[in-house]
Chains A and B, each alone.
Chain A
Amino acid sequence: MKHTLAILVENKPGVLTRVAGLFSRRGFNIESLAVGVTENADTSRITIVVSGDDHILEQVEKQLNKLIDVIRVSDLPVEESVNRELALIKVGVDSTTRAEVMQIVDIFRAKIVDVGIKSLIIEVTGDESKINAIDQLLRQFGIKELVRTGRIAMNRGAKSVQAEKK
């Protein structure tokens, strides 16, 4: 069972090392990781996708909360949150395939952000399955390079992950 955790941390050097180090030494597996600053400059938000049963998830959350620089840990269930990843995909094309690739890009509401004689760079955002799907479809044309961000996620509706409970 996969869980998406939103972890609010102090925006200080070394905090990511503390969080990542905890996962490795406790034997928890990180499937995806994304970090960035939040609406407050002194707070960063780490989004981690971790797989494990309820017991493992409980331990992950408790151990994270023991870190002094961790302010808050929230589990974001998929059905109650918006989940996004971004991928840049460089696809090899020639005059015969370019049109077909562009059609696929349209269907996925992706964007072409760079055009070369023999290649295109496609930018696509969406949840994991959407990115997997476009990846599969583009493979037949020859993917020269692919880079994906980790997942980021946010609660739907008014509920939000805040440093201080309101």
Chain B
Amino acid sequence: MTHTKMSGAKAVIESLYCENVDVIFGYPGGSVLPLYDELYEAKLRHVLVRHEQAAAHAADGYSRATGKVGVCLATSGPGATNLVTGIATAYMDSVPMIAITGQVPRSLIGYDAFQEANITGITLPITKHNYLVQDAKDIPHIFKEAFYIARTGRPGPVLIDIPKDVQNEVMEFEYPEEIKLRGYKPTYTGNEQQIKKAASLILKSEKPIFYVGGGIVFSNAAEELRILAESIMAPVTTTLMGMSAFPTKHPLSIGMLGMHGTRYANYAIQESDLIIAVGVRFDDRVTGKISAFAPNAKIIHIDIDPAEIGKNVRADVPIVGDAKNILKSLLKYVKMEQVKTESWTKKIAEWKKEYPLVYKKDNLLRPQYVVEQISDIVPDAIIVTEVGQNQMWAAQFFNYKNPRTFISSGGLGTMGYGFPAAMGVKIGKPESTVIDISGDGSFQMNSQELATVVQEDIPVIVAILNNGFLGMVRQWQELFFNRRFSSTCLEGSVDFVKLAQAYGALGLRATKKSEVRDVIIEAVKSGCPTVIDFVVEREENVSPMVPAGAAINEILDME
């Protein structure tokens, strides 16, 4: 590109073009007026949300569904601080995202100016990196670096804070071809010696198990995982973040592990002699009591972030690098005829038969039934979730086939994530049916975005599993606090059908089992933003459950 004189604000837009950004989610304000003036004529879509938190979640959802870097934009002070929950959500789940914030003019920084907040300081622990732009001429290389950092290595959010006067400053625009970061060189190829060691452990193992997570999704390694699992005939359990990385109905799939994992996944982990952990971080919701986790297993830990290896558990064979590359390399060394897992896979098949995921099949409208019907009617939908019971049922009872079709706030567990994230998903994947499996509590944390989906014509479906409770907390109160339901009852708080209609969206309701399929079909056919209020059994529990701090084979059944 030739050198062209332009304002800092225009340089931001030009930088976004250079990064092939076609949509940003944002909310205007005083310190981003020059940027919004440029957006008025920009050749990219700006989605006007109703709360900055939603802009961050939407950019995050867009990124998770497409693999591209999501972008959100907010003004200084409260606009920027409203992004914080969304940035932290993306950080915990390694989602590549750019957050652009306006800042007060340079001369006012540090003087407690109107709408001033030290957002680079605030987001220091929840961003992969952040920048305060001190000079308009730095804009191109900062954007180049920021996008590179966000999407490479272990991905994550990067924030760029731009003072208002920098947006107005005239500079010469030239987008750099290369970047120079002395302190940032992610490793992609695994060490060959380590890979050989891993392969020899695999070939010796009689009870191997894959424990895989978000890393498979982010490195687009689902296909390599499937081929390798089939080659060595090892069962595959996924974390919540890895939910769609391996087909639910695959014979080697044993579903999710951990606190609300399947009995057979947790039993298999505890009895295995080799864990092949890929793109996971041995989170406490997965391992339960760490000292009792997988007592007989050697551990191969594959991750792109060296700091995750050895953080929570010892790894016998650590391999740093990109999951796709490493799984491919591993495949060279293992062949099906060499494996000896026959009695192991047989045992797991027996467990699967003996301890299936169940719920009471009676005439009452139970939330699990709703999820099953959605899975049956729109099998190719992209499922987004809120947080709590709805999230666990969505993980347990939908039949996932392809990566990036289960989108959920795993690490931070952000209530209110699902609906705005679903907007981003729908914009990134307009051909897909996008369904936010929601709870009545979570939905109310960002229900104002109904205005956005109607104004911007983003036809997502919100399926509220409405039990009139903050269900997961209520479940813990039932089990561990003697049924003292302290501040968890939401009954009668809002008529979700009328709420949807008030915003101009379609509102539907099902109160009986027999009505469930009809409303799902109507919502899908409508092509409109739709809220479905499923009035479900109030005190249904997520089952099975491992109490916090217990070993993962100390499982409670809820019936």
Contacts and interface: CB of A to CB of B under 8 A. Distances in A.
Given A17-B121, A17-B124, A18-B124, A67 B306 contact: no
Nearest to B134: A13
Contact of B306 (A17, A62, A70, A71): A62
Interface string B297-317: 000000001110011000000
B184 interface: yes
A70 B124 contact: no
A10 B182 contact: yes
Contacts, number: 38
Given A10-B183, A71-B182, A59 B311 contact: yes
A81 interface: no
Contacts of B306: 62, 65
Contacts of A70: 183
Given A18-B124, A21-B124, A68-B149, A55 B184 contact: no
Interface string B412-438: 000000000000000000000000000
Contact of B307 (A17, A55, A59): A59
Contacts of B120: 14
Interface residues on A, range: 20 to 34
B307 A62 contact: yes
Given A17-B124, A68-B128, A68-B149, A163 B182 contact: yes
B183 A25 contact: no
Interface string A1-35: 00000000110001001100100010000000000
Given A17-B121, A25-B125, A67 B307 contact: no
Interface in B139-188: 149, 181-184
Given A10-B183, A71-B182, A63 B124 contact: no
Nearest to B182: A71
A84 to B, nearest CB: 26
A55 B182 CA distance: 26
A100 interface: no
A22 to B, nearest CB: 8
Contacts of A18: 124
A66 B307 contact: yes
B83 to A, nearest CB: 19
B130 to A, nearest CB: 9
Interface string A144-166: 00000000000000000001100
Given A25-B125, A68-B149, A63 B182 contact: no
A15 to B, nearest CB: 10
Contacts of B181: 68
A75 interface: no
A14 B159 CA distance: 14
Contacts of A66: 305, 307
Interface in A59-86: 59, 62-63, 65-72
A13 to B, nearest CB: 8
A58 interface: yes
B340 interface: no
Interface in B103-155: 120-121, 124-125, 128-129, 132, 149
A69 B125 contact: no
A149 to B, nearest CB: 25
Contacts of B311: 59
Contacts of A9: 183
Contacts of A67: 183
Contacts of A63: 307
A40 B181 CA distance: 16
Nearest to B183: A71
Nearest to B154: A66
A16 B310 CA distance: 26
A25 B183 CA distance: 21
A65 B181 CA distance: 13
A62 B154 CA distance: 13
B124 A68 contact: no
Contacts of B182: 10, 71, 163-164
Contact of A55 (B121, B129, B132, B310): B310
A3 B234 CA distance: 43
Contacts of A72: 183
Contacts of A163: 182
A14 B130 CA distance: 10
A58 B310 contact: yes
B514 to A, nearest CB: 53
A72 B129 CA distance: 17
Contacts of B125: 21, 25
A131 to B, nearest CB: 33
Contacts of A17: 121, 124
A68 B184 contact: yes
Interface in B22-67: none
Q: Which of B120, B124, B305, B307 has the most CB of A within 10 A?
A: B307
A25 B306 CA distance: 19
Contacts of B305: 66
Contacts of B132: 14
Contacts of A62: 306-307
Nearest to A62: B307
A63 B309 CA distance: 11
A71 B182 CA distance: 6
Interface in B225-256: none
Q: Which of A9, A68, A71 has the most CB of B within 10 A?
A: A68
B333 to A, nearest CB: 28
Contacts of B124: 17-18, 21
Interface in B335-371: none
Nearest to B156: A66
A82 B183 CA distance: 26
Nearest to B307: A62
Contact of A69 (B121, B183, B310): B183
A61 to B, nearest CB: 9
Given A65-B307, A71-B182, 18 more contacts: A9-B183, A10-B183, A14-B120, A17-B121, A17-B124, A21-B125, A59-B310, A62-B306, A62-B307, A65-B183, A68-B129, A68-B149, A68-B181, A68-B184, A69-B183, A71-B183, A163-B182, A164-B182
5 contacts: A10-B182, A17-B121, A21-B124, A59-B310, A65-B183
Interface of B: 120-121, 124-125, 128-129, 132, 149, 181-184, 305-307, 310-311
Interface of A: 9-10, 14, 17-18, 21, 25, 55, 58-59, 62-63, 65-72, 163-164
Closest 3 CB pairs of A and B: A62-B307, A71-B183, A68-B129
